[in-house]
Chains A and B, each alone.
Chain A
Amino acid sequence: MTRNIDLARLAEHHRVMVRIRAFEETAKQGLDEKLVLGAIHLSIGQEAVATGVCLNLNRDDILLSTHRGHGHTIAKGADSTAMMRELFGREGGNCGGKGGSMHIADFGVGMLGANGVVSANIVIAVGAAHAIKLRRENRVVCCMFGDGAINRGPFLEGLNWAGVFNLPVLFVCEDNGFAATTRTRTMTSGDGPLARAKALGIPGVTVDGNDVLAVEEATRSLLDDVRSGKGARFLHAVTYRLTGHTAVDPAAYRQKQEVDEKWQSDPIARVEALLGDAHSAGITKAREDALREMQNALNVARDTPYPDVSQAFADVQDIGDPRKEAF
């Protein structure tokens, strides 16, 4: 089947996808140097979902993400240097160094936060959409979650809520096949994400989540419905996590052969194949620019001080400020 491909648009996706890849590889470098702390969850191999969806959101549209949210956040327009500072726990990070990777958020670009609790953002997302409807605003909410999230209550409760109140939400199930380190299908009864969404009255489609054009086409169609007031829609994007659950997880629970095969459908390689030899200079430049940007972010983050310790007590609450409490 021949596809009518907009090469300029594809190159745009490519630029963001390689920025996401470079950000995460650089963050892993920071982790190896013990400068990035805690757990970080990489989305290497899932970049086509991030850009295929988020490049179709407006700046004032709202995005909520998962604990594996770097890619979504970059694709929504957040500054990579502020993100790297956040991963380093430094001043000037998106959250002042107080959230880290799992709580990355940039309200300035409508990114209302990654969440450390699986599926927790689904109910928060429908609330954001509820507020949009109450205030008669003209924007939509996009809620990202993994396939592991479909087995928690907030998935059922949030989708039901979105359906009952006819809310402007695009639910995106980024299905990488694993719930932490367990194959999700071994822990899931029935036919999975899309069947459940449909059972709750939320129409949707399943796409190859490593095919950025397929993700984009489906997203556009679903967002058209959401924006025109038809209610919530569901995108089930099937992808694969090429690295472990966390950046230090060797993922020994899966065969090397399986992972090697999955690398053959690396979404970035697929975009580059589509762009073709005629665009090789552009491809090279995009990769070099991305590496330079992220290496610079790493250097800036490394040279940025930690927040002042007074920040440990700031922004807890107004009433009953903890600074008034002696140890």
Chain B
Amino acid sequence: MGTLTYIEAGRRALAEEMRRDANVWAVGEDLGRGGVFGQYRGLVDEFGADRISDAPISEACIMGAAVGAAMMGTRPVVEMRFSDFALCAIDELVNQAAKARFMFGGQTRVPLVAREPIGMWRSSAAQHSQSLEAWYAHIPGLVVACPATPADNLGMLKAAIRCDDPVVYMEHKNLWPLEGEVPDGEHLVNFGEARIVREGRDVTIVTWSAQVHNCAAAAEALEKDGIAAEVIDLRTLWPWDKDAVLKSVGNTGRLLVVQEAVSVAGFGAEIAATVAERAYKSLKAPVKRLGAPRAPISYAPPLEQAVTVRQDAVVEAAKKLMTF
């Protein structure tokens, strides 16, 4: 085992896959200079400007070109800089990439990876901070991945590049500097397999992306109060690991879903509904969701903080579930 940051793990994943398969290439704005966050730093030196390709500021064309290039047998990794900007490429992702295989009767596949960094980061305000992962989970044809650790960013990005389906790959901007252990050799994560971050018997906390770390810290705090929280990192929202969640809720009888995204009509509702449909007999308390209010994200730090799910809110919600 070695240690890498989340951003380095992503860089290693891409480099390993580009070495393995000459059809893998990356395209997006500013990639030659390393990408907006440095995710691609140095890669142009090894792979050249044709494979670490700078693009015009033209998200629709970056995504659309990736669709065409994927249908022609290459495996493009598309950089959208901020998931917010990918909204300029929604037709290309939702109407084209997600549908081509199906509507052409299986004549083609679109093995592209759309990297769409999500989340609040350094007062970036309303157009650079959103977490829109639930939108994509709603679209047939797409895989949605939200890695929370360096090891997962390595293993999941590699798996995304090898996947024959279009993958919306959402790294969290606040996690770029996070350090963690990663396996030395080949490392791949199977999509749809949640990670049990911490085992517990009293309450199940289901989360993903940066909130995994918040919830792990909350679980540690709860432990001091004698509450054993089981924390599940979903890792992928489509497919998502129902079995792991249902099994855990079967043991604990209590479910808390935590997401950075707007709570209303979010993915937490999908989890809550599934548990209500399939595990209601084991529930000892109502299902609880925690997420952002339905408001755009502010610039000023106290206002930004006001829409963030914080550790004390997770602790409080878990404690409340224990009162039923």
A residues at B contact (CB < 8 Å) = 62, 64, 93-99, 103, 105-108, 112-113, 115-117, 120, 122-132, 134-135, 153-154, 157-158, 160-161, 164, 314-320, 322
Contacts and interface: CB of A to CB of B under 8 A. Distances in A.
B66 to A, nearest CB: 6
B196 interface: no
A135 B141 contact: no
Interface of B: 23, 25, 50-51, 55-56, 58, 60-61, 63-74, 76, 91-92, 95-96, 100-108, 140-143, 163-165, 191-192, 238-239
A296 to B, nearest CB: 22
B182 to A, nearest CB: 23
B1 to A, nearest CB: 27
B65 A107 contact: no
B133 to A, nearest CB: 14
B74 A124 contact: no
Nearest to B88: A153
Nearest to B72: A131
Contact of B67 (A62, A99, A124): A124
A157 B105 contact: no
Given A124-B71, A319-B239, A157 B56 contact: yes
B143 A317 contact: yes
A134 B25 contact: yes
Contacts of A128: 68-69, 71-72
A128 B96 CA distance: 14
Most A CB contacts (10 A, CB to CB) among B56, B66, B107, B143 go to: B107
B69 A123 contact: no
A95 B63 CA distance: 23
B61 A154 contact: yes
Nearest to B239: A320
Nearest to A122: B64
A318 B163 contact: yes
A320 B55 CA distance: 32
A317 B140 contact: yes
A313 to B, nearest CB: 10
Nearest to B54: A164
A59 to B, nearest CB: 15
A123 B100 contact: no
A122 B58 CA distance: 13
6 contacts: A99-B103, A117-B95, A127-B70, A127-B72, A158-B61, A161-B61
B91 to A, nearest CB: 6
Contact of A127 (B69, B91, B107): B69
Contact of B192 (A106, A157, A320): A320
Contacts of B141: 316-317
B96 A99 contact: no
Nearest to B95: A117
Contacts of B69: 127-128, 130-131, 134
Contacts of A319: 143, 163, 165, 191-192, 238-239
Nearest to A317: B165
A319 B168 CA distance: 13
Contact of B64 (A98, A107, A154, A160): A154
Contacts of B95: 116-117, 120
Contacts of B107: 94-95, 105-108
Q: Which 4 residue pairs are nearest across A and B when measured between Cβ atoms? A: A123-B64, A127-B68, A320-B239, A127-B65
B105 A123 contact: no
B92 A120 contact: yes
A127 B67 contact: yes
A161 B103 contact: no
B87 to A, nearest CB: 13
Most B CB contacts (10 A, CB to CB) among A99, A122, A319 go to: A319
B61 A157 contact: yes
Given A117-B95, A317-B143, A98 B102 contact: yes
A288 B20 CA distance: 56
Nearest to B51: A134
A95 B192 contact: no
B140 A316 contact: yes
A123 B163 contact: no
A96 to B, nearest CB: 3
B104 A99 contact: yes
Contact of A322 (B104, B108, B140): B140
B44 to A, nearest CB: 15
Given A317-B165, A319-B192, A320-B192, A126 B68 contact: yes
B164 A318 contact: yes
A249 B43 CA distance: 54
Nearest to B140: A316
Contacts of B192: 319-320
B140 A95 contact: no
Contact of B58 (A108, A124, A130, A157): A157
Given A128-B69, A131-B74, A157-B56, A94 B105 contact: yes
A124 B238 contact: no
B105 A124 contact: no
Nearest to B111: A318
